[in-house]
């Protein structure tokens, strides 16, 4: 993933267990952890954040479709 990437968003959206594990590739990596209540607050207060999240989910879904045999 690139700098500024998001991950784990599916678990925040659907409140189900995470579907993947992340490991930092570089030392000094900074991770911002957002729990469900903060996530809901941010989405409600910052519509641009919600749109960024929707775009990320959409692009990932399209990539999965494109990668199918």
Q: Is the pLDDT of residue 19 over 80?
A: no
Who's near 2: CB < 8 A, 6+ residues apart? none
- For the chain, give every domain's residue range: 1-17+33-69
Residue in 18, 16, 10, 22 with CA at minimum distance from that of residue 57: 10
CA distance 64 to 6: 17
Query: What is the rounded average pLDDT of the residues 5-15?
Result: 84
pTM: 0.67
CA distance 55 to 12: 15
What six digits make up the tokens of 44? 């409600």
Supply the mean pLDDT for the chain.
Answer: 87
pLDDT value of position 16: 86
List pLDDT tens digits, range 37-50: 999 999 999 999 89
Query: What is the rounded average pLDDT of the residues 47-59?
Result: 90
């Amino acid at each position: 993933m690139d700098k500024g990437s998001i991950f784990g968003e599916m678990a925040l959206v659907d409140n189900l267990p995470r579907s993947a594990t992340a490991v930092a590739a570089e030392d000094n990596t900074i991770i911002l952890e957002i729990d469900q209540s903060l996530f809901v607050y941010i989405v409600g207060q910052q519509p641009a954040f919600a749109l960024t999240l929707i775009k990320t989910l959409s692009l990932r879904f399209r990539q999965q479709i494109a990668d199918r045999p």
